[in-house]
Structure 1
């Protein structure tokens, strides 16, 4: 058992950085938070566990887990005050420091296989909520742009209910560079063909617009919409979930 009592500790300073996408990229680590997510993960660990973090009222859960078969997992005990600074989503449960998997670039000349969702979402809560719907409604891949937040952001993983740890993830660079003039890509926008009437092909790429700017000025995209009454538009992840539901039901 390793005890940390000071904010100046190198481990603590590094872990404090893991509440941001920049810190996750810099240190190549992320923190898994949430009792249910951790219990599920430890039954079938598919990421390297680098450390477990607890406070004085918590007991270590890793020594008897399936993750322990890969080697001893260092356990660090912190005072509650320091622990709570790392527990940014307020789980009050053990924290696991994991090593993220490298996200590969989508291969050149790739053609869609099933529904592939392009996600330029910078808000972790939005990306996580979208990933949860993506897993529920048969999305085959999440394609992350340079504008997207880290899929390993703790708030994204929590909002996804762990879906971001299960879906295939790929990088595609800047959104405008990838989608402009690409007539094979459909965009979910405020104006376009009603998703309820759309004859969904089995294989396609669908891009979700970030809140606010959407796809203004982007040419060449075919557009789909979720018509509304009484409000101008829906939250991007809500509209996307409706679209994904219609796709899943049309391709049964």
Structure 2
């Protein structure tokens, strides 16, 4: 365990740089802030490049020979933090590497997000998918960065555990179709109530931007469309709520299959 006192230290500079997508992409790293997120990251120690703690918390952290641990003061925590409330614990984390080929080989339930731009929604979706047994999350190139600080915080640790593939485009979707995956759109046109759709077997639930929906190219791949019946006085649900409702039904169906 080492102590850092200077804002010019290279690890402090690296942590601060990860506030920006350019450097997250360049370094293949991101920042996790707060005890809950750091503890989830430490469940996969191979991902943790560096750990930052306050001096008074040093006794709570077991010495890890495989992780570089740094004690820093509140002044430096304020520099590396992306929120107003520093929780005295942060980590520089390597982006997990997931293999699309492994997802194509399983009898899985996947979620494909098309042009989702709100960080809070994406974070909530990652959290729900992790909680409800989704086998993998696919993002089109137009989606918000899943490793941005707000998304990471909203996942409540799901970002470390849920298989996530970025920049999924036509070639990857064609491969999934060739391996037997069926696509289920979300929408209103020619739609079935979500609980009347068979979500067992190789299925991909597609959710689009609340503003512009699913792109025509992806919609053309969908075998059927699901809808969620709601109070007619309400215009719609947000995409994170819709995802949680439908994935919960998929989890129920898929668990029942194995009873």
TM bracket (short chain): 0.7 to 0.9
- Work out the CA distance in 1 between the residues paired with 2:112 and 2:216: 18
Q: In proportion to residue count, which structure has more helix?
A: 2
Matches within 5 A, 1:4-23: 4-6=5-7, 9-23=9-23
Q: TM-score, normalised by structure 1?
A: 0.80
Shift of 1:233: 1.3
- Which of residues 183, 186, 192 in structure 2 aligns to 1:185? 183
Q: Is the 8 A contact 1:50 1:74 kept in 2?
A: no
1:70 corresponds to 2:60: no
* Superposition CA RMSD, Å: 3.0
- Work out the CA distance in 2 between the residues paired with 1:193 and 1:62: 53
1:242 corresponds to 2:245: yes
Q: 1:215 to 1:185 in 2, by over 3 A?
A: same
| Aligned match of 2:139 | 144
| Aligned match of 2:229 | 227
- Work out the CA distance in 2 between the residues paired with 1:158 and 1:33: 7
Matches within 5 A, 1:75-114: 75-78=70-73, 80-89=74-83, 90-104=85-99, 106-107=100-101, 110=104, 113-114=107-108
Does the residue aligned with 2:124 lie in a helix, a strand or coil? Answer: helix
Q: 1:124 to 1:69 in 2, by over 3 A?
A: same
Q: 1:25 to 1:155 in 2, by over 3 A?
A: same
Q: Is the 8 A contact 2:49 2:94 kept in 1?
A: yes
How many residue pairs get matched?
Answer: 242
Q: TM-score, normalised by structure 2?
A: 0.78
Q: 1:188 to 1:12 in 2, by over 3 A?
A: same
- Work out the CA distance in 1 between the residues paired with 2:59 and 2:94: 18
Q: Is the 8 A contact 1:132 1:163 kept in 2?
A: yes
